[in-house]
Structures are given as C-alpha cells and as structure tokens.
Amino acid sequence: MAESPVRRRVRATGRVQGVFLRDSTRREAERRGVAGWVRNCADGSVEAVFEGPPDAVSALVDFTRAGPGHAQVDALDVAPEEPEGLAGFDVR
C-alpha cells in the first residue's frame, strides 16, 4: 500500500538567489517524482512547495537545506501543509 502524499512549504535564506537553487531544485524534484514549485522572493529568500511521497519530500527538503554548489543556505524554515494534489514541478 502506497503512503499518503505529504506537502511541505520551505523558505531558504542566505545566499540562495543567483546560484541555480531554483533550477537545481526543479531537477531534483523531477528526479524524485515530487510535485510543486519554487520561486525567488522579494526579500532575497527562495520559497518552495514540495508534494509527494514522504521519503521523496524529506529528501528534497534535505537537498534544499544543503543547496547546490555556490549556494549558502543559512536557514531553512519548513512547514507542513495539506496536500492539494499538485502535478509537475514549476519554477516561478
């Protein structure tokens, strides 16, 4: 029996814009079968929503916490939300 999907909203702060965090997150989400979106925010942070199997969502949260190459994630806020049945992953 498949586990019920989960949803997490994350906000990364630090050096997270202009370092390919959004595109890297999209590729990782697609690789893991996680739906959702990621976007830059006016305050310099990056916000994302991940929805899918619990293990895959948890791995994507960990990926975001580490960030790609030149990113420096100083803090990652993670909040659970009710899944909405999203499909695909968008960079906004």
All residues at 6 or more sequence positions from 43 whose CB lies less than 8 Å from its CB, including other chains: none
Whole-angstrom distance, CA of residue 25 vs CA of residue 72: 14
Angle, nearest 10°, between helix axes 21-32 and 54-66?
160
Q: Which residues are part of the catalytic machinery?
A: 22, 40
